């Protein structure tokens, strides 16, 4: 089983729609969670971090469900410019004896917004 | 100027050739990473380095080696390139001391490598 899994999509939705993605993770000790956005042929860029109480940034809402080990991203009133691939990322402890950690990325969910 | 730069941006090479991809950063971050990205497989970690003396294998290190020449430089080598190493390669940095961007990864623009 992959450490971090996402539905690859593609999600093809009309402008103005609400769309939601989920991302599941296998390591219950994971502490930090992120959503990245990647435009075609570009590098990923941080969209938002996800903390225990969840957070909202304009049309974007990220939530964490520790019991079921998943994070979600909700995009309301979608715009053409939201078309991109959305990657979730999870902080994984390097070892139980070290505070160092690394980030594991999901394979990404492709979103296409149509006019 | 970009904070994380990669050279070359594009490279076509032949099977068996030695290739080095270079990454430089001006962010002052201790942590640096090399990923490869393939369609449908997302970003996979090749190697990571938490400081100049600390280098670790990621999930797909076979066929690759790295060198952390300085805090700002982290290079990735393919000693004998093979076609299944054709991919988009990203370098990234992070700063765990940052309160606002703890563990956020800052990516370079990528290197598109084709091995014929």
pLDDT in tens, B54-81: 999 998 999 999 999 999 999 999 999 9
User: DSSP 3-state assignment of A82?
Assistant: helix
Please report residues of A whose CB lies closer than 8 A to that of B110: 41-43
Which residues in B lie closer than 8 A to residue A45 (C-beta atoms)? 107
C-alpha atoms less than 13 angstroms from C-alpha of A18 in its C-beta half-sphere: 7
- CB environment A15-25: b (16+ within 10 A), e (fewer): eeeebebbbbb
Q: Which residue of A has its CA nearest to B101?
A: A49
- How far apart are alpha carbons B48 and B33 in whole angstroms? 4
pLDDT value at residue A109: 94
Query: If you average pLDDT over residues A32-50, what whole number do you get?
Result: 93
Closest residue, chain B, to A35 (C-alpha): B104
* Angle formed at CA B69 by CA B12 and CA B54, multiple of 5 degrees: 110
A93 pLDDT higher than 70:
no
**Triad A112, A45, A96: Cα angle to 5°:** 115
Task: For tokens 């917004």, name the residue.
Answer: A113
Give chain A's mean pLDDT.
Answer: 89
Check CB contact of B50 with chain A, cutoff 8 Å. Answer: yes
* pLDDT over 60 at B91, yes or no: yes
Q: CA-CA distances (angstroms) from residue A58 to A55, A76, A83? A: 10, 9, 17
Q: Dump pLDDT digits (tens) for B22-66.
A: 999 999 999 999 999 998 778 999 999 988 999 999 989 999 999
Using the Cβ of B20 and the Cβ atoms of chain A, whether some distance falls under 8 Å is answered with: no
| Lowest-pLDDT choice from A10-24, A83-97, B68-82 | A83-97
Q: Is the pLDDT of residue A42 over 60?
A: yes
């Amino acid at each position: 089983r992959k450490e971090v899994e996402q539905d690859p999509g593609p999600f093809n939705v009309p402008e103005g729609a609400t769309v939601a993605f989920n991302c599941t993770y296998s390591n219950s000790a994971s502490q930090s969670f992120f959503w990245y956005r990647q435009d075609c042929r570009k590098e990923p860029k941080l969209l938002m971090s996800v903390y225990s109480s969840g957070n909202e940034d304009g049309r974007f809402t990220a939530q964490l469900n520790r019991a079921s080990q998943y994070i979600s991203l909700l995009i309301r009133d979608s715009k053409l410019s939201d078309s991109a691939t959305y990657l979730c990322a999870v902080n994984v402890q390097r070892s139980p004896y070290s505070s160092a950690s690394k980030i594991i990325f999901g394979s990404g969910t492709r979103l296409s917004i149509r006019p | 100027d970009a904070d994380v730069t990669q050279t070359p941006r594009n490279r076509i090479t032949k099977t068996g050739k030695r290739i080095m991809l270079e990454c430089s950063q001006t962010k002052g971050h201790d942590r640096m990473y090399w990923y490869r990205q393939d369609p449908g497989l997302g970003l996979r970690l090749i190697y990571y380095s938490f400081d100049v003396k600390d280098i670790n294998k990621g999930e797909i290190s076979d066929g690759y080696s790295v060198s952390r020449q300085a805090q700002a430089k982290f290079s990735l080598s393919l000693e004998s390139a093979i076609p299944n190493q054709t991919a988009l390669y990203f370098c990234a940095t992070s700063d765990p001391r940052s309160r606002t961007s703890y563990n956020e990864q800052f990516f370079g623009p990528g290197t598109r490598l084709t091995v014929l």
